[in-house]
Amino acid sequence: MTGGGGGGGGGTRQVCASCGSEHPETDPHARCPACRGLLEIRHDPPPQGGNALRALFDARAGVRRGPLASGVWRFTEAVLPTAGPHVLSYPEGNTPLLTSAPVAAWTGTPGLLLKHEGHNPTGSFKDRGMTVGVTQARRIGARAVACASTGNTAAALAAYAALAGLRALVIVPRGKVAFGKLAQALAYGARTLLVRGNFDECLELADQAGERLGVYLLNSVNPFRLEGQKTIVLELLQQLGWEPPEWIVLPAGNLGNTAAFGKALREACAWGLIDRLPRLAAVQAEGAAPFALSFREGFARRHRVEPHTIATAINIGNPVSYDRAARAIRDTNGVVTTVTDDDILEAKAVVDAAGIGCEPASAAAVAGARRLVREGLIGRDARSVAILTGHVLKDPEIVSHYHRDREPPPARANRPIEIDARLEEVERVMNA
């Protein structure tokens, strides 16, 4: 085992979080080949220093073509400096940072901003991880890629594998994936397995397939995925002129994103991009909240639960990135909180009716922000950013159920009205 970059990238290597062994960055295993622990990418600090690095990233912000037009590869020094000709980019990222008076008013904090990751090519933040994961798959010469998923990773993997001409296998829990996501996996041509079981069982299966069947595993177990997802944070810091917000609030399921955010912030501070750390707030659905349970006990032990939430994206009971996400919360003086399914549905109705729209798991971030404002943790004058992780069209069934079918109608239900084709009927409705 060696330090240094086997692919010629002197400054990047993989380090096992469990046994500490080091591996070249082109080692083809998604987990530590010595002990099967989770790997972490370590970059030497970019030599430029913070000011020059910020200037470099800012100078690329207007690039329109090629990999540097991507909101991931613009930050290549922080992501995968040696990817070179292997880069496979849609492009992705460059998502908007929005203000919304109705959403901010509902949460009780006027300074709330929304980073909308639903504006990525397949409609979720997963594209940021997948561009790096599939780039790495090409680098190591993988012929097939695989993932377990609650839906969005499957959609992203299917699309990026198709772009790269790689075979794709996605393993999802039958009946527990939102319709838009399953449709994408099928449309983009991934071999799609519907497992009679839950997500945690799917991940176990994908892990075994990665080990025994020679497919390259692209779940967030894979450390290259997290390098791409770090750019959500880098891009939002850049959009704020490198002035960190006080809080970043995000939904948490398998905890890859929480881990990626922690790493992004640690590196941004160490490399001089920012001079203080925002606090992270990870939000879980009450029925799928093993991480919140651990947080309440000071991370004394890891919990597993049988998960049940309408936010299918985060319906996860045994999150794989537990350790690295716990570190992210500790390092940023962060918190983990929970929201009920009703809170999620109400937050979603508010975000949707504001003209912005998001999927249920994303609305958990907004509901979580409201809870933390009410508890006095997020100050009313704080500048904070909630991450909308996925697009409103990912889960059309839940929208239809909420607005058309639910009895009694929720306060924010927008019932459609059936009429005969006569103007008086339109007039009657307009005057009602």
Residues at the site binding ligand F0G, with contacts judged by CB under 6 A: 124, 126, 149-153, 220, 251-258, 313-314, 359, 361-362, 389-390
Give the whole-angstrom CA distance, residue 118 versus residue 387.
Answer: 10
Q: Minimum Å distance from CB 358 to ligand F0G?
A: 8
- By C-beta, is 166 or 280 nearer to ligand F0G? 280
Q: Minimum Å distance from CB 307 to ligand F0G?
A: 11
The beta strand positions in 226-334, using DSSP E, are: 247-251, 279-285
Q: Minimum Å distance from CB 129 to ligand F0G?
A: 9
Give the whole-angstrom CA distance, residue 221 versus residue 133.
Answer: 11
- By C-beta, is 17 or 413 nearer to ligand F0G? 17
Q: Minimum Å distance from CB 156 to ligand F0G?
A: 8
179, 180, 186, 192 alpha-carbon torsion, rounded to 10°: -50
- By C-beta, is 27 or 235 nearer to ligand F0G? 235
- By C-beta, is 338 or 362 nearer to ligand F0G? 362
- By C-beta, is 27 or 341 nearer to ligand F0G? 341
Per the document, the length of the chain is: 432
- By C-beta, is 89 or 149 nearer to ligand F0G? 149
Q: Minimum Å distance from CB 292 to ligand F0G?
A: 12
Angle between helices 223-239 and 50-59 (to 10 degrees): 90
Q: Minimum Å distance from CB 427 to ligand F0G?
A: 41
Q: What does the DSSP assignment read for 135-162? A: HHHHHTT-SEEEEE-SSHHHHHHHHHHH
- By C-beta, is 260 or 378 nearer to ligand F0G? 260
Q: Which position has the token pair 């109400």?
A: 346
- Contact by Cβ (8 Å): 67, 87: yes
End-to-end CA distance of the chain: 74
Give the whole-angstrom CA distance, residue 281 versus residue 287.
Answer: 18
- Contact by Cβ (8 Å): 335, 365: no
- Contact by Cβ (8 Å): 367, 256: no
Q: Minimum Å distance from CB 256 to ligand F0G?
A: 3
